[in-house]
């Protein structure tokens, strides 16, 4: 799920810098996007939203530009996007209309400091509780982000096959996550092999159902905007496939390393256990783990899409019609395909681990040092 949130965030960053932001008025031309700071709220009033019974709070704002050729200049604009207050840091879209007039439109608030503070809080807590392993996990996470932002996204925009690129990047991310966090040894190596096999099988299942369900990839506004920004050259159905593959990866490596660790501990505790006994005992643990992770996966997706769920709950349309719409069907497909991947990870990884430790035994110096992680 961490990876799904990173990919989605990276996509939003890309969308925020493209030139389709001027779609509000056809004849506007985006010049640049500038950081600014609110100097004063000149006025604030409620206005009706055309075609509805609702109203919106419209603010007339005075702001100082913090960058660009006109740095330090005071500009005025109106906005009903967010309620701002004095000293807020914001981003403004600078446009020029057909008559040559300059217009400033609120793009978004500047969340940079808050995001950095949140990341540092996470990093400090991780290192305090996990010590050196936490440092390695954090390094692996950062390298995974770099791989997605600087390898996967440019490759997708260049027109490479989304499914193939997602599988390749998944293999790289998985190697960074497992070997970067746990080092090199039989346990992370077996978990890596088992997860890669599961990713390949899950990818085939995802490919079949994405096309069988005729999911176009246009389920949300971001996909539509992305299609315009790339002039329709991206395979959005393939992109949906890639997002499913990347999204489920974090859960798969979690359950894989746990299953291998369980078998290693069983063999270390009782060297007389054969392959069949190792498999059966570890699978019993895996069944409990799968139950909790499938629930976690479903709740994570529903939580992320809660506004959408609420929107559909207010509709008078029949339930079967609501579930049939692509925006809902695509999310359900993510949950179900991801859950299939989780279910397959247990027998595949456990079988490989049971075979290995039955024939090779356990290294006493490394067997008891791998723990369940998220």
Least confidently predicted of 181-185, 243-247, 320-324: 320-324
The two tokens of residue 3 are 């990876």
Which regions of the chain carry the CATH code 2.40.50?
A: 19-110
Q: Do 331 and 240 touch, CB atoms closer than 8 A? A: no
Q: CA 105 → CA 33, 60, 75, 81, distances in Å?
A: 9, 11, 11, 10
The CATH number of domain 19-110 is 2.40.50: yes
Report how far residue 202's alpha carbon sits from residue 45's, in angstroms, rounded to the nearest whole number. 53
Q: Do 180 and 137 touch, CB atoms closer than 8 A? A: yes
More confident residue, 184 or 29: 184
Q: Do 352 and 241 touch, CB atoms closer than 8 A? A: no
Least confidently predicted of 1-10, 198-207, 295-304, 325-334: 1-10
366 has a pLDDT exceeding 50: no
At residue 21 the predicted structure's pLDDT band, cuts being 50, 70 and 90, is very low
What letter would DSSP give residue 366? T
Which regions of the chain carry the CATH code 1.20.1640?
A: 116-360
Which three-class secondary structure state does DSSP give residue 314? coil
Range among 55-59, 155-159, 317-321 with highest mean pLDDT value? 55-59
Q: What are the phi and psi torsion angles at 289 (to 5°)? A: -65, -40
Report how far residue 251's alpha carbon sits from residue 254's, in angstroms, rounded to the nearest whole number. 5
Any residues with CB less than 8 A from the CB of 208 and at least 6 apart, and which?
Answer: none
> What is the H or E stretch that residue 310 is in?
helix 306-313
Number of other residues whose CB lies within 10 A of the CB of residue 21: 17
At residue 18 the predicted structure's pLDDT band, cuts being 50, 70 and 90, is very low
Report how far residue 276's alpha carbon sits from residue 87's, in angstroms, rounded to the nearest whole number. 66
Report how far residue 77's alpha carbon sits from residue 24's, in angstroms, rounded to the nearest whole number. 15
Mean pLDDT of 263-272: 88
Q: Residues 147-190: pLDDT tens digits?
A: 888 888 888 888 788 888 888 988 888 888 888 777 788 899 99
Q: Residues 113-147: pLDDT tens digits?
A: 999 999 999 999 989 988 887 888 788 788 878 88
Token match 């996966």: residue? Answer: 297
358 has a pLDDT exceeding 90: no
Strand ranges across the sheet with 102-109: 74-79, 55-65, 29-48, 89-96, 102-109
At residue 253 the predicted structure's pLDDT band, cuts being 50, 70 and 90, is confident
Report how far residue 293's alpha carbon sits from residue 254's, in angstroms, rounded to the nearest whole number. 10
26 has a pLDDT exceeding 70: no
Q: Do 358 and 278 touch, CB atoms closer than 8 A? A: yes
Write down the pLDDT at residue 74. Answer: 94
220 has a pLDDT exceeding 70: no
Least confidently predicted of 21-25, 86-90, 346-350: 21-25
What letter would DSSP give residue 286? H
Fold of 116-360: Multidrug efflux transporter AcrB transmembrane fold (1.20.1640)
Q: Residues 182-219: pLDDT tens digits?
A: 778 889 999 999 999 999 999 999 889 888 888 877 76
Q: What are the phi and psi torsion angles at 20 (to 5°)? A: -90, 10
């Amino acid at each position: 799920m961490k990876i799904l949130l990173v990919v989605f965030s990276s996509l939003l960053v890309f969308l925020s810098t493209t030139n389709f932001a001027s779609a509000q008025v056809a004849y506007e031309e985006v010049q640049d996007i500038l950081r600014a700071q609110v100097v004063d709220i000149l006025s604030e009033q409620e206005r009706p939203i055309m075609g509805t019974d609702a109203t919106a709070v419209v603010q007339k704002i005075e702001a100082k530009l913090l960058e660009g050729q006109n740095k330090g200049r005071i500009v005025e604009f109106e906005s009903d996007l967010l309620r701002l207050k004095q000293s807020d840091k914001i981003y403004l879209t600078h446009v020029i209309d057909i008559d040559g007039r300059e217009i400033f439109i609120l793009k978004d608030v500047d969340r940079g400091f808050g995001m950095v503070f949140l990341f540092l809080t996470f990093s400090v807590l991780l290192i305090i509780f996990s010590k050196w392993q936490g440092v390695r996990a954090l390094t692996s996470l950062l390298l995974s982000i770099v791989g997605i932002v600087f390898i996967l996204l440019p490759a997708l925009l260049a027109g490479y096959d989304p499914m193939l690129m997602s599988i390749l990047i998944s293999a790289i991310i998985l190697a960074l996550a497992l070997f970067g966090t746990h080092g090199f040894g039989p346990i992370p190596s077996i978990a890596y092999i088992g997860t890669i096999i599961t990713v390949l099988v899950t990818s085939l299942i995802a490919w079949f159902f994405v096309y069988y369900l005729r999911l176009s990839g246009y389920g949300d506004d971001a996909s539509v905007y992305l299609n315009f920004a790339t002039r329709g050259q991206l395979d959005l159905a393939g992109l949906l496939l890639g997002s499913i593959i990347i999204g489920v990866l974090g859960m798969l490596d979690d359950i894989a390393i746990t299953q291998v660790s369980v078998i290693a501990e069983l063999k270390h505790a009782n060297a007389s256990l054969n392959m069949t006994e190792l498999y059966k005992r570890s699978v019993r643990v895996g069944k409990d783990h799968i139950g909790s992770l499938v629930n976690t996966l479903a709740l994570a997706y529903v939580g992320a899409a809660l506004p959408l769920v609420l929107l559909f709950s207010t509709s008078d349309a029949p339930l079967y019609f609501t579930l049939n719409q692509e925006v809902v069907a695509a999310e359900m497909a993510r949950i179900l395909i991801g859950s299939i991947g989780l279910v397959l990870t247990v027998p595949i990884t456990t079988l490989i681990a049971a075979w290995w430790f039955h024939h090779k035994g356990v290294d006493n110096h490394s067997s008891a040092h791998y723990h369940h992680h998220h």
